[in-house]
Structure 1
């Protein structure tokens, strides 16, 4: 299983043509306490960079973008019930949605953890 990171501070855990998407530690730090999430519709297909979900915190609201063309397979109902999971466990229980990628090779251009860490440090 591979994890890639987008310039918009989402992560995607890739397993074949299925990906699990969430926001990074950097994103949840910048947002502050997450109080609401609006998750995408299961079965809907999105183009790359489409806004697929919304995360709202006490400070701001932000879109969560689809990293590549994909169909939503599942959403994290536990996150809908407890949005603070995006803060307490953003790379685990705080995932947002699972997708079937149209072309998994589209993700090869995204950053690995080392590159993303440097990118996020520069974003401060």
Structure 2
């Protein structure tokens, strides 16, 4: 009789474990996917910002001090990779072709934007 109780208890426990493994949680855990926005897509006149906060499209020129983060008085091509307009026009703005755009070169060039 003792053996029968052990066998029945073991079978009952096994059935309970099997059932617990097959149930779906009522509230699944949240995903890392951010919710989608129903807003309208940006237009060509919108300004997007890169990681350093620089404007990356046309419009108001980026402040030179924002580009010259090392405060050297000039920027190199690598310094302006977040500014689409200046990256595209770097050679034009670099009037003396020294590989750097000084504050005065940038001011003159940016005024023609």
- TM-score normalised to structure 2 length: 0.30
Decide which structure has the larger Cα Rg and report it: 2
What TM-score, normalized by structure 1, do the two folds share?
0.28
> More helix by proportion, 1 or 2?
2
